[in-house]
């Protein structure tokens, strides 16, 4: 029997009620388990320094940021590890490195201190990207391979980079088994890296007319929450009210180098797009892609390393820690999960004199989520502290700018 996802819970609930009436003693136990998972709440107490007005609500974006920017590298090329990762996360960028396809996937050989934004509470966070990978092309040899190895992907994943499903073989041509492409890649990543991908990026290429519809359908039917495809919503998302994330299909736009290798004019054009997005009054989420980031413009669908470095450094200098610190440079899944949770929590607070009790009702969070973070925007002229709470991982800026509270759910 096939049950639509949205009906699974009512179905289970009815099932439990049936069992309950048949086996009363077990039934009570089952019932209380279900009830507690449905009404899970957390709470904590804020002590205000002075008696002032307070309002508390979920922050539009994590850490009260103005721009969420998600950037994905498609196809799992090795330049991601040799150049992009050390540039953003800090480390030695590879020297020029000629790969099996006779192209240079290395960078400029310099040491990068990393590119950062801050959480507004004194901690710097490195820029992170997503990788859309094909398990079928991940390998350890040859030495000059063009694709990533499992250990390289794992290292980037552990550093907070998101890994997105891009099909097992990147197949697009007539005769492709779309369902197998989606599910074999899921299995491959589960077996080799021990986690489950939950977002899909349609592989581009020559295929039957509108083949991407098949990928969209198979990905959404096989436990993916969203698909990046040829046409869809975005790349700029309004996030100041509830975002329709359910079975989301988004449009991919690419940042690519031009033939001009003597100036950064092409990159300046892309940067100007971001400038115009940032200028908007309300916070937004912007989402872009490229392929390689090595010295050669791979397949003419990539960013040459000097362009990539210029583009990311410009972004960091304007909107990161060295600039106005308004960016939340976070990969697709992280932003998706934040907004999903933001739109489903219920925040209540009771204010009496200098004490505020905050209660947050939580939804049931899907198992494949990596992030269970809540940022609260607090408006009060008063400094504050949060009464220590061993059940919660909680941070705040109550002693300084008194604008936010950050909770990491277990």
Cα 216 to the center of its chain, rounded Å? 19
Q: Minimum distance between the CB of residue 72 and Zn ion, rounded to whole angstroms?
A: 10
Q: Can the peptide bond before residue 235 be classed as cis, meaning omega within 30 degrees of 0?
A: yes
Residue nearer to Zn ion on the CB measure, 62 or 147: 147
Residue nearer to Zn ion on the CB measure, 126 or 331: 331
Residue nearer to Zn ion on the CB measure, 133 or 312: 133
Q: Minimum distance between the CB of residue 134 and Zn ion, rounded to whole angstroms?
A: 8
Q: Minimum distance between the CB of residue 233 and Zn ion, rounded to whole angstroms?
A: 20
Residue nearer to Zn ion on the CB measure, 75 or 396: 75
Total site size for Zn ion, rule CB under 5 A: 3
3-class secondary structure per residue, 95-137: CCCECCCCCECCCCCCEECCCEEECCCCCEEECCCEEEECHHH
**Binding map of Zn ion across residues 58-77, x = CB under 5 A, - = no contact:** ----------------xx--
Q: Does 181 bind Zn ion (CB under 5 A)?
A: no
Q: Put residue 348 in one of left, alpha, beta given phi > 0 → left and psi -120 to 50 → alpha.
A: beta
Binders of Zn ion among residues 312 to 351 (CB under 5 A) are none
Residue nearer to Zn ion on the CB measure, 294 or 398: 294
Residue nearest to Zn ion (CB): 74
Q: Minimum distance between the CB of residue 203 and Zn ion, rounded to whole angstroms?
A: 5
Residue nearer to Zn ion on the CB measure, 130 or 407: 130
Residue nearer to Zn ion on the CB measure, 46 or 298: 298
Q: Minimum distance between the CB of residue 217 and Zn ion, rounded to whole angstroms?
A: 19
**Helix-strand-coil percent breakdown of the chain, rounded to 5?**
30, 25, 45
Give the alpha-carbon dihedral of 199, 223, 152, 96, to 10 degrees: -30
Residue nearer to Zn ion on the CB measure, 75 or 325: 75
**Binding map of Zn ion across residues 24-53, x = CB under 5 A, - = no contact:** ------------------------------
**Binding map of Zn ion across residues 207-246, x = CB under 5 A, - = no contact:** ----------------------------------------
Work out the end-to-end distance of the chain between its first and last CA atoms, rounded to an integer number of angstroms. 34
Give CA separation, 373 vs 122, 209, 369, 409, in Å: 18, 41, 10, 6
Q: Minimum distance between the CB of residue 136 and Zn ion, rounded to whole angstroms?
A: 12
Give the integer Cα–Cα distance in Å for 166 and 342. Answer: 27
DSSP string, 246-299: TTEEEE--B----S--S--HHHHHHHHHHHHHHHSSS-EEEEEEES--SSS-GG
| Pair of tokens at residue 351 | 């204010």
Q: Which of 76, 86, 135, 203 binds Zn ion (CB under 5 A)?
A: 203
**Residues in touch with Zn ion (CB under 5 A):** 74-75, 203
């Amino acid at each position: 029997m096939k049950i639509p996802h949205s009906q699974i819970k009512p179905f289970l609930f009815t099932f439990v009620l049936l069992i309950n009436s048949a086996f009363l003693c077990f039934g009570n136990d089952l019932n209380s388990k279900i009830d507690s998972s449905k009404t899970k709440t957390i709470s904590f107490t804020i002590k205000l320094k002075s008696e002032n007005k307070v309002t508390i609500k979920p922050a539009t974006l994590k850490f009260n940021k103005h721009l969420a920017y998600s950037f994905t590298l498609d196809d799992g090329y090795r330049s991601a590890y040799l150049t992009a990762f050390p540039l953003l996360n800090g480390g030695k960028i590879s020297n020029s490195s000629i790969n099996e396809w006779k192209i240079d996937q290395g960078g400029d050989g310099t040491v990068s201190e990393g590119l950062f934004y801050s959480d507004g509470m004194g901690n710097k966070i490195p820029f992170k990207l997503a990788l859309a990978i094909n398990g079928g092309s991940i390998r350890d040899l040859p030495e000059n391979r063009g694709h990533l190895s499992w250990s390289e992907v794992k290292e980037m994943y552990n550093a907070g980079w998101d890994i997105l499903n891009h099909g097992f073989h990147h197949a697009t041509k007539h005769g492709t088994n779309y369902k197998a492409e989606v599910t074999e890649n899921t299995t491959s990543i589960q077996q080799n890296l021990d986690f489950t991908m939950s977002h899909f990026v349609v592989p581009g290429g020559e295929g039957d007319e509108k083949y991407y519809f098949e990928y969209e359908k198979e990905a959404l039917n096989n436990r993916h929450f969203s698909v990046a495809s040829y046409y869809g919503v975005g790349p700029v998302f309004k996030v100041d009210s509830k975002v329709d994330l359910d079975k989301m299909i988004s449009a991919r736009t690419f940042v690519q180098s031009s033939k001009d290798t003597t100036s950064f004019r092409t990159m300046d054009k892309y940067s100007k797009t971001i400038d115009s997005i940032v200028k908007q009054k309300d916070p937004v989420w912007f989402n872009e892609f490229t392929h390689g980031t090595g010295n050669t413009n791979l397949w003419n669908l990539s960013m040459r390393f000097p362009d990539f470095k210029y583009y990311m450094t410009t972004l960091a200098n304007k909107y990161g820690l060295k600039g106005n610190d308004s960016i939340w440079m976070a990969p697709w899944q992280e932003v998706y999960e934040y907004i999903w949770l933001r739109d489903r929590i219920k925040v209540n607070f009771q204010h009496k004199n200098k004490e505020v009790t905050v209660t947050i009702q939580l939804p049931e969070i899907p198992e494949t989520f990596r992030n269970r973070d809540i940022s609260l925007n607090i408006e009060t002229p008063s400094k504050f502290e949060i009464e220590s709470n061993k059940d919660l991982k909680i941070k705040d800026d109550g002693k300084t700018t008194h604008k936010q509270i950050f909770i990491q759910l277990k």
